[in-house]
């Protein structure tokens, strides 16, 4: 790669093989290519597995000390019982490898304050305080190196329920005025981070967690120490104060809009990070693959968690799902690793798109009826199409351009029957770089997807569209969203308003009276919490879909839709949080209208 422009004072840039400008020596390059990593939450809490004195404690397994308010002196005694004799670093790393994961992040110290590594600076650690006496991180570092997987640490820098000067333990150390966070930094946090960065060879990244109200100076100290000891070690955004090398979404939050490829989301397979005996709410392998694809299509990394038990074994339901993901990636990995977000700035009802250089990958969540597929708005020429699972069988493609409406369409004749049980992928080779019409098009099945990030927002000061693709601070009926989109022919469309909801705070959201106008047509209805159905409990942010009625669009081509709240639900203490609008063509509109009239009559 040759530098094509450089600023002697700051950073040098070059064009990569896809023609994009990239920073030279960009430390995040390996991580952005990786797309998929293993998260491991392992600690003393695995002994309880979410049960305390015969009761299942609500919340994730690793939070048992806080949720059951276990005194630090009592919790400490778990160390004498921690003897994971079945721990096999190579088996864990092999599982990560079989799953197709490229990096591994393990909890070196979680909020309970117990170090899962040899920590000469603090005796409350796995080598000094357990009968087992091993340093599992040393063994994992070695196994990762041998397998070509980047070894990384998680470290809870702010919460430490064992240290009287750190944050979080209000049951043993209730008097906040006696806490001195700098003392904890000097006594425990900085020495331990130093140990992690000097005892295990090259570290891919350090994953700090829950910055809370940490002061900028403390985050800076951690950043400087990391940079000094391992200049190439990445730092995640939860270090605090925007000092990380990349950003993370909230736990179990999937990206709603394309990101700049420096995002990661951490996800649980059930609802707990640490081992929890009674949590059997496992996501299926297909759901997990769908999430991986969702992340890749938006340029984000997917960090999938496992919670080993106290004997050192990764539970079978975790392992089985990981192996299935690995089998899918063996065939389709090219469509995930080292890819960029979809060139289309909106989602499709049938699936998602990733891209690499001049190739697009179509990931089918739903197989098109009879195998007949169309993609609207792709302006580049398609040279060939093939199924990733059967690369030698060419697939017929035909392309048209309607000059009058400047409408581009690709027809692909796929096999009639879905060729794989889980998410088949079709690769399209293009002539040149992908060029997609940025204006949302009516796609196959009559779907027009209008995400919030493509809208023009008219709103009082303080209301804005966030990078995660939702509207921030929409708390009155003043704001409006306007979208421009294309439809293929006149017709009747259902109007669906999609709102985001934080499942853990669902009760705070309201159901609002909303109005959508397209030309002179109006649809009115209620949108929000009333339509919220949990799709998977592990996903914290989910969408409610509210069908608010019909609009008749009388002409082909570009139109504008406007969304506003007519009556803001006064009970809402969160915010109205639309993620988008979806218009869906009503098939056989004439007979539909006839039957509606008959129903009303």
| Nearest distance in Å: CB 302, ligand FHN | 13
Contacts to ligand FHN from residues 199-228, by CB under 6 A: 209-210
| Distance, CA of 216 to CA of 35 (rounded, Å) | 29
Q: Which of 114, 85, 86, 90 is nearest to 104 (CA)?
A: 90
Contacts to ligand FHN from residues 276-315, by CB under 6 A: none
Per the DSSP assignment, residues forming a β-bridge with 363 are 352, 425
Q: Which is nearer to ligand FHN, 273 or 493 (CB)?
A: 273
Q: Which is nearer to ligand FHN, 60 or 528 (CB)?
A: 60
Q: Which is nearer to ligand FHN, 62 or 195 (CB)?
A: 62
In this chain, which stretch among 57-65, 135-143, 145-153, 516-524 interacts with ligand FHN, using CB under 6 A?
57-65
Backbone angles phi, psi at 531, to 5 degrees: -100, 10
Contacts to ligand FHN from residues 139-178, by CB under 6 A: none
Q: Which of 42, 273, 350, 485 binds ligand FHN (CB under 6 A)?
A: 273
| Nearest distance in Å: CB 325, ligand FHN | 19
Who contacts 146 (Cβ-Cβ below 8 Å, separation ≥6)?
A: 90, 93
Helices then strands, counting H and E runs in the chain, come out as 12, 33
Q: Which is nearer to ligand FHN, 188 or 276 (CB)?
A: 276
| Nearest distance in Å: CB 124, ligand FHN | 18
In this chain, which stretch among 58-66, 118-126, 310-318, 364-372 interacts with ligand FHN, using CB under 6 A?
58-66
Q: Give residue 73's Cα distance to chain centre.
A: 37
Does the protein bind ligand FHN through residue 251 (CB under 6 A)?
yes
Q: Which is nearer to ligand FHN, 166 or 353 (CB)?
A: 166
Long-range contacts, 167-171 (Cβ 8 Å, 24+)? 167/212, 167/213, 168/66, 168/111, 169/66, 169/72, 171/69, 171/71
State the sign of the Cα–Cα–Cα–Cα dihedral 65, 68, 71, 75: negative
| Nearest distance in Å: CB 268, ligand FHN | 8
Does the protein bind ligand FHN through residue 112 (CB under 6 A)?
no
Q: Which of 309, 281, 274 is nearest to 66 (CA)?
A: 274
| Nearest distance in Å: CB 276, ligand FHN | 11
| Nearest distance in Å: CB 60, ligand FHN | 5
Does the protein bind ligand FHN through residue 62 (CB under 6 A)?
yes
Contacts to ligand FHN from residues 63-82, by CB under 6 A: 63
| Distance, CA of 547 to CA of 472 (rounded, Å) | 23
Cα separation values, 11 from 6, 24, 31, 224, 227, Å: 7, 8, 19, 19, 17
Q: Which of 47, 96, 266, 296 binds ligand FHN (CB under 6 A)?
A: 266
The two beta strands, 351-356 and 359-364, are antiparallel
Q: Where does residue 70 fall: left (phi above 0), alpha (psi -120 to 50 degrees), or beta otherwise?
A: beta
Q: Which is nearer to ligand FHN, 273 or 350 (CB)?
A: 273
In this chain, which stretch among 60-68, 132-140, 174-182, 532-540 interacts with ligand FHN, using CB under 6 A?
60-68
Residue 118 and residue 127 in contact, taking contact as beta carbons nearer than 8 Å? yes
Q: Which is nearer to ligand FHN, 42 or 273 (CB)?
A: 273
Q: Which is nearer to ligand FHN, 273 or 485 (CB)?
A: 273
| Secondary element (H or E) of residue 428 | strand 425-431
Binding site residues, ligand FHN, CB under 6 A: 60, 62-63, 209-210, 251, 266, 273
């Amino acid at each position: 790669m040759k530098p094509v422009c450089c600023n002697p004072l700051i950073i040098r840039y070059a064009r990569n093989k896809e023609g994009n400008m990239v920073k030279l020596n960009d430390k995040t390059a390996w991580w952005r290519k990786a797309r998929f990593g293993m998260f491991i939450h392992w600690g003393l809490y695995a002994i309880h597995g979410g049960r305390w004195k015969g009761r299942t404690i609500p919340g994730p397994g690793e939070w048992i000390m806080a949720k059951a308010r276990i005194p630090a002196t009592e919790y400490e005694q778990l160390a004498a019982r921690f003897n994971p004799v079945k721990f096999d670093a190579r088996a864990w790393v092999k599982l990560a490898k079989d799953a197709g994961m490229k990096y591994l992040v393990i909890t070196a110290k979680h909020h309970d304050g117990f170090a899962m590594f040899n920590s000469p600076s603090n005796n409350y650690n796995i080598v000094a305080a357990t009968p087992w006496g091993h340093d599992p991180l040393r063994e994992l570092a070695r196994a990762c190196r041998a397998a070509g997987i980047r070894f990384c640490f998680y470290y809870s820098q702010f919460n430490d329920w064992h240290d009287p000067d750190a944050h979080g333990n209000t049951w043993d150390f209730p008097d906040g005025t006696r806490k001195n966070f700098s003392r904890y930094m000097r006594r425990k946090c900085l020495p331990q981070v130093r140990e992690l960065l000097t005892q295990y060879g090259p570290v891919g990244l350090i994953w700090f967690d829950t910055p809370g109200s940490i002061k900028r100076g403390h985050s800076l100290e951690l950043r400087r120490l990391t940079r000094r000891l391992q200049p190439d070690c990445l730092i995640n955004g939860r270090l605090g104060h925007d000092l990380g090398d990349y950003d993370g979404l909230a736990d179990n939050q999937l990206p709603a809009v394309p990101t700049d490829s420096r995002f990661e989301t951490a996800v649980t397979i059930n609802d707990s990070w640490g081992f929890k005996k009674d949590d059997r709410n496992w996501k299926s392998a297909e759901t997990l693959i769908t999430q991986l694809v969702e992340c890749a299509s938006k340029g984000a990394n997917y960090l999938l968690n496992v919670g080993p038990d106290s004997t050192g074994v990764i539970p079978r339901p975790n392992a089985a799902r990981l192996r299935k993901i690995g089998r899918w990636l063996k065939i389709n990995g090219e469509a995930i690793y080292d890819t960029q977000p979809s060139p289309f700035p909106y989602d499709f009802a049938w699936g998602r798109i990733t891209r690499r250089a001049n190739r697009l990958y179509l990931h089918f969540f739903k197989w098109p009826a009879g195998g007949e597929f169309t993609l609207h708005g792709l302006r580049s020429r398609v040279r060939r199409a093939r199924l990733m699972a059967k690369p030698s069988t060419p697939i017929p493609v035909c392309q048209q351009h309607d000059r009058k409406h400047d409408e581009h369409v690709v027809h692909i004749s796929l096999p009639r029957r879905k060729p794989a049980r889980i998410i088949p992928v079709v690769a399209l080779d293009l002539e040149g770089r992908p060029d997609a019409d940025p204006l949302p098009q009516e796609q196959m099945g009559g779907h027009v997807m209008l995400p919030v990030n493509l809208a023009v927002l008219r709103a009082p000061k303080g209301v804005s569209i966030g990078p995660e693709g939702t509207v921030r601070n929409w708390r009155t009926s003043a704001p409006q969203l306007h979208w421009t989109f294309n439809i293929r022919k006149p017709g009747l469309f259902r109007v669906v308003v999609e709102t985001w909801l934080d499942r853990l705070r669902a009760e705070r959201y309201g159901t609002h009276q909303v109005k959508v106008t397209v030309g002179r047509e109006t649809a009115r209805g209620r949108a929000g919490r009333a339509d919220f159905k949990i799709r998977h409990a592990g996903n914290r942010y989910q969408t409610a879909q509210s069908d608010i009625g019909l609009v008749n669009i009388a002409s082909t081509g570009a139109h504008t839709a406007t969304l506003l709240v007519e009556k803001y639900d006064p009970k809402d203490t969160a915010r109205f949080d639309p993620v988008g609008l979806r218009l869906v063509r009503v098939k056989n509109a004439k007979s539909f209208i006839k039957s509606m009239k008959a129903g009303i009559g």
